[in-house]
Structure 1
Amino acid sequence: MKTANEFRAGQVLSLNGQAWVVLKAEFNKSGRNAAVVKMKLKNLLTGASQEPVFKADDKLEPIILERSQVTYSYFADPLYVFMDEEYNQIEVEKENLGDTLNFMTDGMTDVCEAVFYEGKAISIELPTTIVRTVSYTEPAVRGDTSGKVMKMATLENGYELQVAAFVEIGDAVEIDTRTGEFKGRAKS
């Protein structure tokens, strides 16, 4: 058991028999009142959210999630199928992938991390930096070099993002998967 004050964003706790991930935890101590922790929680299985307030010394039970390295295999509507090191298939529903879908492509070799709760895959985490190929972008405008010039580009899977003006069709670019932002041209 941990006190409410010890929980940080990203950790998982058990509340009323259900698993909740902490999205935000804010400690607050005011004058005469007891210290409290305001949390923003999201249910791992249903996706529902709530914002309870706990006393700082309330005891809550942490949950340790299982993790396994996997690679994307194929899409079998409505499930995405991943494979672990022992060639076991792990099926993940589209709703559980969230922004990860923006960077998934057929034949990708990136090693991802599957997160399990009670034996069920609840999410997939991509590496923080991935490399994708630009399938379409407008040519750069000559003379527009004042500051950081960005333009729209479409990746091979159809996802659009802002890239630097010097990026051309066919270039491999690095993308930060946490923010979805262009980091730079990939080193070959």
Structure 2
Amino acid sequence: MKTAQELRVGNVVMIDGTAQVVVKAEYNKSGRNSAVVKMKFKKLQGVGSSESVYKADDKFEDVRLDRQDVTYSYFADPAYVFMDADFNQYEVDAENLGDALHYLEEGMACEVVLFNEQAISVELPTTIVREITYTEPAVKGDTSSGKVLKPAKIATGFEISVPLFCTTGDKIEIDTRTGEYRSRA
């Protein structure tokens, strides 16, 4: 059991028999009133979100999620299929993948998150290396301010901002949490 003030974004708790993910948690302590936590939740399975205010010492049942190392295999409309070392297949809907869709490539290693032995989402490595498939050439004299960026596309069609010195064919390192360029690989 966790109290409301201990909950952080990403924690999974049971509310009215439904597993929900904390999307936003805002702690507030004012004057004479007791401390409260305003939280926004998203259902772990299914569609829907809710927002509620709880006392800071209200208790919630913490849900443990399992993780399994997998590799991305293929897209089987409407789900993406991942396979573990024992050839077990896990299907994850596109809506549950979020930003991971921008970086998925066949054979890519990642982790699938399981709830009640059912795949609910995928977690990618913190950094990945991708090749730039297209970017405009740098224009001389376009460096009036310190850090100048230009758009570049990777094989999945996702566009990322990169420094001017990056060209088509360069391999770059991308932070999957923020979607930002980190360095050349």
Query: What is the TM-score with the length of structure 2 in the denominator?
Result: 0.94
- Classify the secondary structure of the residue corresponding to 1:101: helix
Deviations 1:86-144 (A, max 9, x none): 12111111111111101112x343x2111111111110011111111111111111122
- Of 124, 130, 143 in structure 1, the residue corresponding to residue 128 of structure 2 is 130
Aligned to 1:62: 62
For residues 1-188 of structure 1, what are the structure 2 equivalents within 5 Å?
1-105=1-105, 107-109=106-108, 111-146=109-144, 147-186=146-185
CA distance in 2, matches of 1:99, 1:47: 18
- Classify the secondary structure of the residue corresponding to 1:52: strand
Number of aligned pairs? 184
CA distance in 2, matches of 1:142, 1:33: 61
- Classify the secondary structure of the residue corresponding to 2:102: helix
Superposition RMSD on alpha carbons, in Å? 1.2
**Structure 1 vs Structure 2: percent identity of aligned residues?**
59
Is 156-165 or 141-150 further displaced after alignment?
Answer: 141-150
- Classify the secondary structure of the residue corresponding to 2:24: strand
Pairwise CA distance, 1:183: 1.1
Structure 2 stretches of 5 or more lacking a match? none
In the TM superposition, structure 1's runs of 4+ consecutive aligned residues that sit over 2 Å from their partners are: 143-146
CA distance in 1, matches of 2:136, 2:29: 53
Pairwise CA distance, 1:46: 2.1
CA distance in 1, matches of 2:137, 2:78: 37
Pairwise CA distance, 1:11: 0.8
CA distance in 2, matches of 1:6, 1:89: 35
Deviations 1:153-186 (A, max 9, x none): 1111111111111111111111111111111111
CA distance in 1, matches of 2:100, 2:157: 13
CA distance in 2, matches of 1:33, 1:134: 55
CA distance in 1, matches of 2:2, 2:55: 12
Pairwise CA distance, 1:51: 1.5
CA distance in 1, matches of 2:129, 2:28: 41
- Classify the secondary structure of the residue corresponding to 1:158: coil
